[in-house]
Structure 1
């Protein structure tokens, strides 16, 4: 399953009035109407005979389409992604034959229960993350659009109203507000925000109003465009995304820039770092949450033989293992490596590799062990010393606020002995600072 806060349906989000699951409730309307029949004037003179024979002509209908009170709860268990995967099933019911091909409802029920049991076990073992921005409930996008219009109308700008609306809504809700804003006032909300604000505050608001796939695509494009490459951005995004997120980002990238993300990454990187980025760009990491301890031991031996036990390093082995194994499996591999060698795999990577490849491999290790700590270190680095890496600060705050920014803030405090809030207050100023604090739920 994709992370919370990341759009599951791509972009733009579905507009109000078009629920994703609209394909299923509709059959409950046409079937009861069959009892009334169609008048002969409409071209169905034999409807009474046709409908009485339907139980014989379609012996599997009673099994394939049980009453809604029974069928829908089971479909919610067996097909947890049905809301997104079958959003287009309503026009014409093109997938009816697929469901009729199941000879027995009991068999399909047992299959669905088996599917649910496999996918639900890892979710039960996954600790809940702590977002700092959650969808507003109740939510009225037109009322929010009116508040933003009032805040920017006439002389002066009510920045406090803008911050309180946009930092207390999810990314999808902000896009709904923009849609209603254009509907009501015939103006683009992002354009109005740009004209009424400036500097880093403007950059932060524009980031908040950008669909997440497009935002990530722009960050990756800017990291590779022009002279030089910002490898830190590539590492931060490509080493932390799930398969689903990588595929959605790739689609957004091609839609915006007309090129393939893989091609741009390969054209702007080189050597073993290029191979690592290419492997990660495939979005083909195993998502099996079952840990095979025997295979973990074998992979640990392979990593040891490819690195410390030979002259030179076989980078391809590290590339294959760290880019294809699931995160739980990688955690087991790292434990086995420590058992075999007596030291941590992070130390081995530092000794065997250098440059961007070392940074990327160590990033994968950190993400496997503690993803919030990885982002806490990135936030600390963005504000440490003279000056601020505002782009990195904005990127992490905007993309993680609906996922695990609460955990990141806790890790920041645990590692550095100071709160993330105090660092933001000491390093930023004005409405930019207030908006960042709003994403932390502190304004």
Structure 2
């Protein structure tokens, strides 16, 4: 793993709290100082600063920042100060309960995290909203897509690193028989294989599928499914094949076309900055022949741009 944000070596929470206070006092706000501090501290260090800030000044750092900032710059700052699991829970809730359901975001959050993290997210979701993640998915979705998302929300994927070529061949043949090899589509077979097999085994299954049929699993999914269900399954397959390239593609798509999908852009950069954002940058450049920081600078502006570019490094 290669993060872009590392623990700040000369970290002094009281000093940072005072600098943030100074940045917000008086006429105007010193946004550059806020960027310099919060982009160079880990989430744990930022939350320590927030606690110290309250102790020193009797005020809430998040409330003070909200009163000084606005727009997507504020959104990034709030995301940086949120505890990581809490942030993912809020993003899931927004994806489920907003205008229409953002299925690709639900797939992203549930597929990039490991089992333990998915269970933490699901448990915190229930605590926060007094409704289970499964119940909310079921109330918002139906059919194949509902079953896919519920399966992902259980956090019960095989996480072993062993591979079994014979089993992969059997699964690849089962996928063919359930899709291109029959009239109609047996969606349950796709669901069972895509939601239970380990990442390394899934990649082997996809390779065997191509060996059997002469074309990719993505082409089969494109032929057998449609609409948001197809998009969700393709996203899951992409993540199983290569999580890093999948996230690079999500960033690219967030900045393509008219407007920017800011929530996706912010979520991936903030949440992966302490995990593997350096690798995502490299994958982005390899796939799109463009530097990620430069692409961000072309798409957005002002302090919003400065903060994201600082996090990207």
What secondary structure, in the 3-state scheme, does the structure 1 residue paired with 2:44 have? helix
Question: Quick one: distance in 2 between partners of 1:226 and 1:133?
Answer: 31
Q: State yes or no: 1:433 paired with 2:267.
A: no
Of 201-210 and 252-261, deviating more is: 252-261
Partner of 1:382: 254
Structure 1 ranges of 4+ moved more than 4 A: none
Correspondent of 1:291 among 152, 155, 163: 163
Question: Quick one: distance in 2 between partners of 1:338 and 1:399?
Answer: 33
Correspondent of 1:369 among 235, 241, 244: 241
Q: State yes or no: 1:276 paired with 2:276.
A: no
Q: State yes or no: 1:183 paired with 2:55.
A: yes
Partner of 1:118: none
Partner of 2:222: 350
Which residues of 2 match residues 113-128 of structure 1 at below 5 A? none
What secondary structure, in the 3-state scheme, does the structure 1 residue paired with 2:29 have? coil
Residue ranges of structure 2 left out of the alignment (5+ in a row) = none
Question: Quick one: distance in 1 between partners of 2:241 and 2:159?
Answer: 16
Which residues of 2 match residues 214-225 of structure 1 at below 5 A? 214-225=86-97
Partner of 1:308: 180
Q: State yes or no: 1:400 paired with 2:283.
A: no
Question: Quick one: distance in 1 between partners of 2:38 and 2:238?
Answer: 31
| Cα offset, 1:286, TM superposition | 0.6
Which residues of 2 match residues 30-429 of structure 1 at below 5 A? 129-429=1-301
Question: Quick one: distance in 2 between partners of 1:427 and 1:227?
Answer: 24
Residue ranges of structure 1 left out of the alignment (5+ in a row) = 1-128
Question: Quick one: distance in 2 between partners of 1:226 and 1:385?
Answer: 22
> Which has the larger share of helix?
2
CA deviation profile, 1:290-325 (whole Å, cap 9, x unmatched): 112221121111111111111111110010011001
| Cα offset, 1:239, TM superposition | 2.4
Pairs aligned (count):
313
| Cα offset, 1:138, TM superposition | 3.3
| Cα offset, 1:385, TM superposition | 2.2
| Cα offset, 1:205, TM superposition | 0.5
Larger Rg computed on CA atoms = 1
Specify which structure has the bigger relative contact order, considering alpha-carbon pairs within 8 angstroms and separated by 6 or more residues: 2
CA deviation profile, 1:208-238 (whole Å, cap 9, x unmatched): 1111111111111112225421222212212
What secondary structure, in the 3-state scheme, does the structure 1 residue paired with 2:112 have? coil
- TM-score, length basis structure 2: 0.96
8 Å CA contact retained: 1:132, 1:440: yes
Question: Quick one: distance in 1 between partners of 2:60 and 2:128?
Answer: 19
